[in-house]
Structure 1
Amino acid sequence: MLADLEELVTCESFSADHDALARSAQVVAAQGRRLLGAAPKTLVSEGITHLQWTFGTPRILLLGHHDTVWPTGTLRTHPWSVEQGIARGPGVFDMKAGLVQMFHALSQLPSLDGLCVLVTGDEETGSATSRPLIEDLARQCSATLVLEPSAPGGALKTSRKGVSLYELTVHGRAAHSGLEPEKGINAGTELAHQLLALERIATDVTAATGPGTTVTPTLLRAGTANNTVPALAELTVDVRVPDPAAQQAVDRHIKALTPRVPGARLDIGGGPNRPPLDAGSSRKLFAQAAEEAARLGLEPLRQAAVGGASDGNFTAGAGCPTLDGLGPVGDGAHADHEHVVTATMPDRARLLTRLVGALQ
């Protein structure tokens, strides 16, 4: 398993680097071919490579992704290593160890009939090209098992917040900031008003629908020179919500924003990206997994609600019971301390083998 993990981690797969994704897909496909006994169907959409294995009529969907948030070249500063039972490297936790565990788990089944394995290449950027495929497969299946990393301590993820993504673009008018600033329309100043309005939206929605909603400005850009009134300002906004009511409320508020600076124009793009993964979608699958863990003599399984989203949000939103976080135990997704506790990998694989077998 560690040799397979090293092979995946040392083949970098930054989401925005389509050539790297194609190389990564070849490595993932080869591992799957060796361990599952079949070659995948390779799907390329807008330059992004996805892989799909189908055995008979799909009833159980196993879901993962091979893209990472780490830019190509990160191996130079975050090299692959295994020291004192800790594996490190870009994407090792999110989620290449999950792919390794999945392939090894499925290789132990007497039959793969009824299984569909989907490994996508754009999960980290919102799954724009893979979402239709994910939802279509989920509608055909009675269960989805997601090999994303576990929550702290190995807990399975039985609830995830929904995600909405927005882009605010302010159009102003440039002018010399020393000679005639009054002739300009400052897009940066207008963007500042919108930042304050977004803060109020989070407060208002929380008061109306309950706790758990966050509205976070992330990327901000404005201006072209230090002596020029900014004619353009741009802002991206990341929204996390606990339930559909909050997601709809935030959407209404953001799309109702209006400019405050005279003459400025505001364009608003985006909207809901992933629906919330409700705990009810995971309840029966978690109970089944807990039973299988007990039969294996493993420590009692725990469950967790998390703010991060995954493609499991899509499968649950499509009406398919979904259990997430079945991947590796470790920490540091998207962070410099990303790592996997290697001793846990065989037991996580055994648990998946038993769970899939029980569902078949």
Structure 2
Amino acid sequence: MTRMADRVQCDYEAIGVAVERIPGRNGFGDHILAVETRRCPEARADGPGILVLSHIDTVHPLGTLTSALPFKIEGDRAYGPGTEDMKGGAYLALAATRQLGAEGRQTRLPIRHLLVSDEEMGSGTSREHIEREARRARYVLVTEPARSGGKIVTARKGIANFKVTARGVPAHAGVEHHLGHNAIREIAYQIERLEEMTDYDRELTVNVGLVSGGTRVNVVPEYAQVEVDVRMPNPEIGEEIGQRIRGLTPRDPNVELVVEGGINRPGYEKSPEIAALFEHARTLAAEIGFDLVDLKTGGGSDGNFTASIAPTLDGLGVDGDGGHTLEERLYISSIEPRMRLLMRLMETLE
């Protein structure tokens, strides 16, 4: 991550953009804030601006580029770890900023590009910086990859994560089975309760994704745990489902049940302000020569943190496919038109 931050800093400084390096903590890398004020009116340089939001981490482990997913180009596809999610989108913002200067274009607002190092791990160390910059922004443009063939995102579900742990009473499975209280059996019961909370009509999903427990096959298990992913359309439903999960009680009174966790990324809907921003972007895209369509997605991003603070457009990065897999790729033909869209948004928003 240090080498990646060095590269971003070097590329921005090479085109004369001021860079602030925000030190990482808790083992995470540095964050980068690139600030372009040379192209906006001087009186506006320190005021509310446009926040462009990207991340420089990927889900792929170190070494993937030199082993399972080397960079290669096949026709319109460029393969590699993070090409779609989201090195491609981060590069678009850099390229759009550079192109503004190359074409002598002016902006009406200052441009601040925040690139964080921990989005794929939940943005635990960067959230405070994201929200601080959003509070001094009129608009937020997020360069997450496009969805479903080029669509951008105007609403996202929120995300919550929970751990449910059962602690029972261990016993020898053959000699004193009757004295044991099985933590796995308790967790199996709770899994059913959790999965029953899914309500597709309300856009609410509760997914038990990880299960662990027990020590040996001949021991009544003392310990079992599940990890739960929850997706919800808005904070109100998020608070409701959180209360239901935290309210789980053990079926076996001799088993202790502990629930930990909560909302990590709040959900947001397409507000009138977001709708107006999208319509502006759609007009610009039509001038460039492509049709811009929006959607709501169940995936989370750092845009979840900003949408309640400033109008946010997400999914403005490259078009691609196979994100988070060893088939990850971007479509080369999407780079120029989507860079142009970002540039025109930077130029015209006020």
The 5 Å alignment of 1:236-251 reads 236-251=227-242
Confirm whether residue 25 of structure 1 aligns to residue 17 of structure 2: no
CA contact (8 A) 2:119 2:301 kept: yes
- Residues in 1 aligned to 2:13 and 2:210: alpha-carbon distance in whole angstroms: 40
Shift of 1:184: 2.2
Q: Aligned partners of 2:319 and 2:15: how far apart in 1? A: 22
State the one-letter code of the partner of 1:107. Answer: R
Q: With structure 1 as the length reference, what TM-score do the two structures score?
A: 0.88
1:241-284 deviation per Cα after TM superposition (whole angstroms, max 9, x unaligned): 11222212111110110111231111111111111121115211
Match of residue 112 from structure 2: 116
- C-alpha displacement of 1:45: 2.4
Partner of 2:193: 197
Describe the superposition over 1:78-125 as per-residue Cα deviations: whole angstroms up to 9, x where unpaired: 111111120111111110100111100111224576121111111112
- Matching of residue 285 in structure 1 with residue 265 in structure 2: no
Distance in 1 (CA, whole Å) between partners of 2:79 and 2:268 is: 29
Q: Residue 159 of structure 1: which of 134, 140, 155 is its match?
A: 155
Equivalent residue for 2:26, pick from 37, 46, 51: 46
State the shift of 1:351 in Å. 0.9
- 2:286 aligns with 294
1:85 alignment partner in structure 2 = 76
Query: Within the alignment, does 1:177 sit opposite 2:173 as a pair?
Result: yes
Structure 1 gaps of 5+ residues are 1-20
Which AA in structure 2 matches 1:119? L
Which residue identity does 2:33 align to in structure 1? Q
Residue 308 of structure 1 aligns to a residue whose secondary structure is coil
State whether residues 189 and 261 of structure 1, in contact with CA within 8 Å, keep that contact through their aligned partners in structure 2.
no
How far residue 186 of structure 1 moved from its aligned partner, in angstroms, is 1.4
- The residue that corresponds to 1:321 in the other structure is 311
Q: Considering only aligned residues, what root-mean-square deviation do their CA atoms show, in Å?
A: 1.7
Matches within 5 A, 1:215-226: 215-226=206-217
1:153-177 residue CA offsets vs partner (Å, 9 max, x unmatched): 1111111111111111111222222
Q: Is 2:122 the counterpart of 1:126?
A: yes
Alignment CA distance shift 1:195-1:290 (3 Å): same
Bigger CA drift: 276-285 or 139-148? Answer: 276-285
Q: Which amino acid counterpart does residue 61 of structure 1 have in structure 2?
A: L
The SS at the match of 1:344 is helix
Q: What letter is aligned with 2:346?
A: V
Q: CA deviation at 1:35?
A: 4.0
Q: How many residue pairs end up in the alignment? A: 333
Kept in 1: contact 2:143–2:314 (CA 8 A): yes
Q: Counterpart of 1:159 in structure 2: which amino acid?
A: A
Residue identity opposite 1:355 in structure 2:
L
Name whichever of 210-219 and 48-57 sits farther off: 48-57
Q: d(CA) in 2 for partners of 1:34 and 1:190?
A: 60
Letter in 2 for 1:52: L
SS in 1 for 2:212: strand
In the TM superposition, residue 61 of structure 1 has moved relative to its aligned partner by: 0.4
Q: Which moves more between the two structures, 187-196 or 276-285?
A: 276-285
Contact 2:265-2:305 within 8 A present in 1 as well: yes
Q: What's the counterpart of residue 347 of structure 1?
A: 337
| AA matched with 2:285 | A
The one-letter amino acid paired with 2:287 is R
The one-letter amino acid of 2:139's match is A
- 1:178-216, Cα deviation, whole Å (9 max, x unpaired): 22222222111111111011022224xx6xxx4311001
AA aligned opposite 1:256: G
CA-to-aligned-CA distance 1:109-143 (integer Å, 9 cap, x gap): 24576121111111112111111111111111110
TM-score (norm 2): 0.90
Other-structure match for 1:6: none
- Specify the SS of the correspondent of 2:220: coil
In percent, how many aligned pairs have the same letter? 39
Secondary structure of the residue aligned to 1:197 is helix
Q: What is the letter of the counterpart of residue 286 of structure 2? A: A
Deviations 1:282-311 (A, max 9, x none): 211111111111222x11111111110100
AA aligned opposite 2:234: D
The correspondence for 1:304, drawn from 290, 295, 312, is: 295
Matches for 1:202-217 after TM superposition, within 5 Å: 202-203=198-199, 210-217=201-208
Provide the rounded CA distance (Å) in 1 between the counterparts of 2:98 and 2:52: 13
- For the structure 1 residues 32 and 187, does the alpha-carbon distance in structure 2 shift closer, same or farther, using more than 3 Å as the test? farther
Q: Give distance in 1, aligned partners of 2:21 and 2:339.
A: 24
